[in-house]
């Protein structure tokens, strides 16, 4: 889910706080009185809206392994109609955005060169390992994709040939994500498949067979440091 405020919800790696709100222009609202975020009203079509729908729209158009805090496409296209912060928004500096990230807030920022963007693509969870939004989205993508492949063979007799087919399907999907020999198509940095460690006779007697998949994501360049020396 995506939240439109900076607090008051249960923290979870599936939850997103998106704050502050932003301002956009809706020509159809020209001449219609609309409440503003600072308590005033306007009828010029320039309205204040929360960031939740904008973030949801961005995520629906972004590959799961990508950081929604990036400035590259599709961010400029999706956020193009945003023209500034909501009315009444306090002045924010980098210290504020550092705190936003620490408290699990995917904060909206107007960059002076790149325009509107999300400063940090984080979830509301403060648990170590659950902060990065792209990690949870990529895990969902991999799990859902493999589950749909496994469903085709569910309830089949547990012949070794069926198990081999499931392993082959798993390897084929992950191999496509790894894209060895095609760096521009690479989406993960590595993976392993294990059908031995977690399987026991007890599980087998219950009709359960476990495929353990470990995937290493590609890192994102969250911080780019320029170490320059000018003489």
> Tens digit of pLDDT for each residue in 168-208?
999 999 999 999 999 999 999 999 999 999 999 999 999 99
CB 71 within 8 A of CB 114: yes
CA distances for 163 relative to 9, 119, 150, angstroms: 43, 45, 10
- What's the mean per-residue pLDDT of the chain? 94
More confident residue, 6 or 78: 78
H or E segment to which residue 175 belongs: helix 160-178
Which sign, positive or negative, has the C-alpha torsion 74, 64, 117, 45? positive
pLDDT of residue 7 exceeding 70: no
d(CA 194, CA 187): 21
pLDDT of residue 148 exceeding 70: yes
Structure token digits, residue 86? 């909501």
H or E segment to which residue 138 belongs: helix 133-151
Q: Burial of 22 by CB count in 10 Å (0-12 exposed, 13-18 middle, 19+ buried)?
A: buried
Residue 147 has what pLDDT?
Answer: 97
d(CA 186, CA 216): 12
To the question of pTM greater than 0.85 for the whole model, the response is yes
Percent of the chain with pLDDT over 70: 96
pLDDT of residue 85 exceeding 50: yes
d(CA 138, CA 144): 10
10 — pLDDT class (breaks 50, 70, 90): confident
DSSP state of 183: G
Residue 139 has what pLDDT?
Answer: 97
d(CA 78, CA 121): 15
Do the bridges between strand 16-19 and strand 105-111 make them parallel or antiparallel, or are there none, so unpaired?
A: parallel
Q: What integer is the mean pLDDT of 208-224?
A: 95
pLDDT of residue 6 exceeding 70: no
d(CA 159, CA 175): 24
pLDDT of residue 4 exceeding 70: no
Residue 146 has what pLDDT?
Answer: 98
pLDDT of residue 9 exceeding 60: no
Which pLDDT tens digit goes with each residue over 11-50? 899 999 999 999 999 999 999 999 999 999 999 999 999 9
Q: What integer is the mean pLDDT of 157-161?
A: 96
More confident residue, 7 or 204: 204
């Amino acid at each position: 889910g995506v939240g439109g405020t900076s607090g008051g919800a249960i923290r979870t790696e599936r939850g997103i706080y998106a704050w502050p709100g932003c301002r956009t222009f809706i020509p159809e609202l020209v001449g219609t009185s609309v409440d503003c975020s600072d308590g005033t009203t306007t009828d010029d079509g320039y309205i204040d809206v929360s960031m939740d729908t904008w973030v949801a729209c961005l995520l629906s158009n972004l590959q799961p392994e990508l950081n929604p805090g990036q400035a590259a496409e599709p961010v400029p296209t999706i956020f193009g109609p945003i023209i500034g912060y909501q009315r009444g928004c306090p002045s924010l500096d980098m210290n504020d955005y550092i705190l936003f990230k620490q408290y699990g807030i995917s904060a909206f920022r107007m960059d002076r060169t790149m325009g509107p963007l999300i400063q940090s693509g984080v979830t509301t969870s403060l648990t170590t390992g659950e902060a990065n939004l792209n990690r949870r989205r990529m895990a969902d993508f991999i799990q859902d994709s493999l589950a749909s492949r496994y469903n085709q063979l569910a309830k089949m007799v547990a012949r070794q040939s069926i198990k081999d087919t499931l392993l082959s399907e798993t390897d084929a999907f992950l191999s496509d994500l790894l894209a060895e020999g095609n760096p521009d198509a690479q989406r993960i940095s590595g993976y392993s498949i294990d059908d031995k460690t977690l399987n026991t006779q007890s599980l087998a007697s219950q009709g359960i067979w476990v495929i353990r998949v470990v995937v290493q994501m590609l890192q994102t360049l969250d911080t780019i440091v320029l170490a320059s020396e000018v003489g």
